[in-house]
Amino acid sequence: MTRLLESRPILHALKLRHAGTALCSCVILAIAGAGSAPRAGADETPLRVAITLMPASYGDPFRTLGVPGDWVWRQIFDPLTESDDEGRIVPLLAESFENLGPNTWRFVLREGVRYANGRAFNAFSAKEVFDWLISDEGRATVVGWEMRRVSEVEAPDARTLIFTTWEPDPVLPNRLTSAMMVEPQAWREMGRHGFSRTPVGTGSYLLTDWQNRDGAVVLTANPYAWRPPGISRVEMYPLRDHASRLQAALSGQLDVIMSLRPEQLNIFRDRGFTVHADILRQILAFAFDVTGHPDSPIADVRVRQALNYAIDRKALSEDILQGFAPPASQGSAPNVFGHNPRINPYPHDPVKARALLAEAGYPQGFSTTVQVVTGTYPNDLEIFAKLQQDLAAVGVDMAFRRVLFSDWIRQFFQGAWRTELFTMAWNTAPHNDALRPMEQYSCLKTRPFFCDETLRAGLVAAGREMDTGRREALLQELAVEFRERAASLLLLEYGHMWVVAPGLSGFRVRTRAPELYRVERAD
C-alpha cells in the first residue's frame, strides 16, 4: 500500500524507523535448515547475506537490468563478459573477443563449462539464448532491448560465436555483461514463468528454495560449477529497514550486510568487520515525466533548471551521508567512460532558482509529487526531507509517495507514470559507459518519459562511433547538452557499501554484485 509522504510524515518516519527491527529475526529463523544438503567436502555453515530487495522478476534475468536482480542472478548465472575492478570490460564465459569490422564481433568461449543441470555450455547453447533475445518476444525485455543492434548470431563451432549487427555497435561487449546465459532447454520447456522459479545457469550456485519476493533465497553449490564456491550454502534475506539490518548484523545473525548508514560503519570496523565499496557508482536522481505530463511546470526547462539550483547537494553529501556520496555533476561518475570532468555540479543558488521560476510563470512556486522506492539507499528519508526543505525555500511544495519496486518497474515498462517525478538512477552498470543511461533519458527509449529531439543525432552518433577518442568526445559533449536541458534532478554519486563479518575472507564486489563464491571462512 502506498501513502503520500509530506514533510511532517517524513520526519515522523525517522523516529519510527526502529519499528521494523523485530522482523529480521523472524525472517531469518523461518528458513533455518531449509533447502538441500550442502555438497560433501565444502564448508557447510551457511553464509547469511542481507540485501534490501529481491528482484521483481524472481529468476528471470532478462526482464530487468542491474540491481536488485544482480545481487541474486550473478550467483546463479554468468554472462560472456564482465566489468573488472577498474571498470574495463573483460571476458568471463568468453576467453577472448575481438572486433572484426564495424558490424562484426567474434567471441571465443571457455571450454568445459556446464550448467547446473549437467548440460554443456558452448557456442551452440549460447546462440539459442541470443536467438531468443533478438526475437520479437526477447526484444520486449530490458536485456533484449540492449541487443537491439544484433541482427544475427552464428556458432561455426562449439567455441566460437560471431555477432553481426545492423549498424556499428562499439559497446557490444559492454552490453553482453547483462546477457545471462540461461540453460536454453530448461528455458524452453519450463517457459519464462516456470524458469523464473527454478532458474538454471552456469554460476557457482543453484537456487534451492525461493520462498517469495519478500522471503529468503537459499542457494547451494552448483556441483558442475567452473568456479566452485568456498562456502556451499548461501541464505539471502531481503531486509529493507536499515535498523533491521543493523540489529541482525550486530547480533551475529548475518555475515554480509549491504547499504548500511555511513555513520554506522565505524561500529562495524571496531568489531572487526571489513568494509567494501562498490566502485561502479550510479547517479541518484529524480526523473521528470515530461512526456506523460506535457502541461506540467516540469515541461519547461527553466523550471527543471530551477529545481536543480534549489538543491544543496553539498549538505546532502556532507551532513547526511558524511561525504560518502559526492554531489553529482552529470549522469555518470568519474570512473565511467564518457564522463566529462569539465562539468561541475549545479551550485546551490535559491535566488537564481526563484528567478527562473518567475521567468517561467511560477513566481509563487507550485506543488508536485514524486514516487520513491525507500530502503534501497542509506539515509534515504533524511535525503527526502532535506529535498523538501530546499524546494520549499523557493516555493515548490514536493510530496513523496512511497511505492514498491514491483510497482515502480511496472510503470517503467508501461511508460505510464502516475506522478510528475520519480526516482530513476543514471545507472551505467554493468556497461560502465555513459551512453546507456543517456539512452534511457531520451527519445530512443521505448515509451520515453523525457524526449528532447535535439539530442537524438548526438546519441545515434555516439552509439555508432567505433573510434574510442572520437566517441569519448561525443559522449562528453552530450553530457553538457543533457545538463543544459536539465533532463533530471541530479543529486549524488552513489555506490553501495558492504560490511563483512570477522573470520571471512575473499569477499569482493564486481559489477555491483558480491562475488560470494570467493568467500571462505578462516580455519
- We report the CATH number of the domain holding residue 72 as 3.40.190.10
Backbone angles phi, psi at 12, to 5 degrees: -65, -40
Same domain flag for 336 and 455: yes
Average pLDDT for 40-46: 68
pTM: 0.81
Q: Tell the residue number behind the cell numbers 552518433, with chain if given.
A: 461
Q: Is pLDDT at 232 greater than 90 in this prediction? A: yes
Q: Which domain holds residue 170?
A: 81-185
Residue 194 CB partners (closer than 8 Å, separation 6+): none
Would you state the pLDDT for residue 43?
64
Same domain flag for 241 and 348: no
Judge contact between 375 and 291, C-beta under 8 A: no
pLDDT range class, residue 7, cuts 50, 70, 90 = very low
**Mean of pLDDT over the chain:** 87
pLDDT for 328-370, tens place per residue?
A: 999 999 989 999 999 999 999 999 999 999 999 999 999 999 9
Q: Is pLDDT at 214 greater than 70 in this prediction? A: no
Instruction: Give the domain CATH number at 136.
Output: 3.90.76.10
**Is 2 domain-assigned?**
no
Same domain flag for 321 and 463: yes
**What is the percent of the chain with per-residue pLDDT over 70, rounded to a whole number?**
90
Same domain flag for 228 and 247: yes
The CA distance from 271 to 502, in Å, is 8
| CA-closest candidate to residue 57, choices 196, 161, 175 | 196
**Is 272 domain-assigned?**
yes
Would you state the pLDDT for residue 24?
43
Would you state the pLDDT for residue 39?
43
Q: Is pLDDT at 28 greater than 80 in this prediction? A: no
pLDDT for 98-118, tens place per residue?
A: 999 999 999 999 999 999 999
Would you state the pLDDT for residue 483?
95
Would you state the pLDDT for residue 208?
84
Q: For the packed helices 468-484 and 456-464, what is the interaxial angle rounded to 10 degrees?
A: 160
Q: What is the side-by-side order of every strand in the sheet holding 150-157? A: 94-101, 104-109, 160-165, 150-157
Question: Given CA atoms 353, 355, 359, 365 in this order, what sign does their dihedral have?
Answer: positive
Three-class HEC string of 28-73: HHHCCCCCCCCCCCCECCCEEEEECCCCCCCCCCCCCCCCCHHHHH
| CA-closest candidate to residue 52, choices 247, 259, 282 | 259
Same domain flag for 297 and 209: no
**Is 501 domain-assigned?**
yes
**Is 1 domain-assigned?**
no
Same domain flag for 372 and 501: no
Eight-state DSSP code of residue 227:
S
Q: Mean pLDDT: which of 64-73, 314-323, 428-437 is highest? A: 314-323
Judge contact between 235 and 256, C-beta under 8 A: no
Domain stop point among 185, 213, 233: 185
Which of 14-28, 273-287, 419-433 is least confident?
14-28
Q: Is 503 exposed, middle or buried (0-12, 13-18, 19+ CB in 10 A)?
A: exposed
**Is 198 domain-assigned?**
no
Same domain flag for 265 and 293: no
Number of domains observed in the structure of the chain: 3
Would you state the pLDDT for residue 387?
94
pLDDT range class, residue 446, cuts 50, 70, 90 = confident
Average pLDDT for 55-80: 88
pLDDT for 239-268, tens place per residue?
A: 877 788 888 888 888 999 987 788 888 888
Could you tell me how far CA 418 lies from the centroid of its own chain? 22
Judge contact between 242 and 261, C-beta under 8 A: yes
pLDDT range class, residue 26, cuts 50, 70, 90 = very low
Would you state the pLDDT for residue 317?
93
**Is 424 domain-assigned?**
yes
Would you state the pLDDT for residue 405?
81
**What is the percent of the chain with per-residue pLDDT over 90, rounded to a whole number?**
65
Give the largest Cα separation in the chain, rounded.
72
Would you state the pLDDT for residue 215?
74
Same domain flag for 44 and 167: no
CA atoms within 13 A on the CB side of 255: 20
pLDDT for 136-154, tens place per residue?
A: 999 989 899 889 999 999 9
pLDDT range class, residue 16, cuts 50, 70, 90 = very low
Same domain flag for 484 and 502: no
pLDDT for 160-179, tens place per residue?
A: 999 999 999 999 999 999 99
Instruction: Give the domain CATH number at 476.
Output: 3.10.105.10
The one-letter code for the residue type at 411 is Q
**Is 10 domain-assigned?**
no
Q: Is pLDDT at 408 greater than 80 in this prediction? A: yes
pLDDT for 370-400, tens place per residue?
A: 999 887 777 888 999 999 999 999 999 999 9
Same domain flag for 344 and 461: yes
Q: Is pLDDT at 20 greater than 70 in this prediction? A: no
Cα 222 to Cα 82, 201, 225, 228, 495, distances in angstroms: 20, 9, 5, 7, 29
Average pLDDT for 478-491: 96
DSSP string of 320-348, one letter each residue: ITTTSSPBPSSSS-TTSBT--TTPPPPP-
DSSP string of 112-171, one letter each residue: S-B-TTSPBPSHHHHHHHHHHHTSHHHHTSHHHHHTTTEEEEEEEETTEEEEEESS--TT
The CA distance from 359 to 378, in Å, is 36
Burial profile 191-219: b = 16 or more Cβ within 10 angstroms, e = fewer? ebeebbeebbbbbbbbbbebeebebbbbb
**Is 103 domain-assigned?**
yes
The CA distance from 351 to 332, in Å, is 28
Same domain flag for 401 and 258: no
Average pLDDT for 480-506: 92
Residue 304 CB partners (closer than 8 Å, separation 6+): 288, 298, 485, 486, 487, 489
Same domain flag for 53 and 92: no
